[in-house]
């Protein structure tokens, strides 16, 4: 594992994605927070990623079989994601 504290935007998005699924280490989260403090673009990505995860998890529940959304469910999900992202900007 790298000892450097400052990370690139590519590294930040990878850690952001890992943290959404509770797979990021404590050190990675610290590095991400430092990066987000100075990078507004990655901050916006992080917020949108969290919103998308929250909205999707509300609509998609783990089931034993494969679950597919019908057309109306897809449209409702898309509308909710757009609404949430627009309200965060």
pLDDT by residue (tens digit) across 53-78?
887 777 666 555 566 778 888 888 88
- The residues near 33 (Cβ < 8 Å, ≥ 6 apart) are none
- The residues near 34 (Cβ < 8 Å, ≥ 6 apart) are 5, 6, 7
- pLDDT tens digits, residue range 25-44? 999 999 999 999 999 999 99
pTM of the model: 0.65
């Amino acid at each position: 594992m790298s000892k450097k504290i400052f990370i690139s935007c590519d590294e930040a998005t990878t850690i952001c994605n890992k943290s959404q699924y509770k797979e990021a280490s404590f050190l990675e989260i610290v590095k991400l927070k430092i990066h987000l403090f100075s990078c507004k673009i990655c901050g916006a990505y992080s917020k949108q990623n969290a919103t998308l995860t929250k909205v999707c998890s509300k609509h998609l529940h783990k089931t034993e079989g494969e679950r597919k959304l019908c057309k109306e469910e897809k449209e409702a999900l898309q509308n909710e994601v757009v609404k949430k992202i627009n309200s965060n900007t």
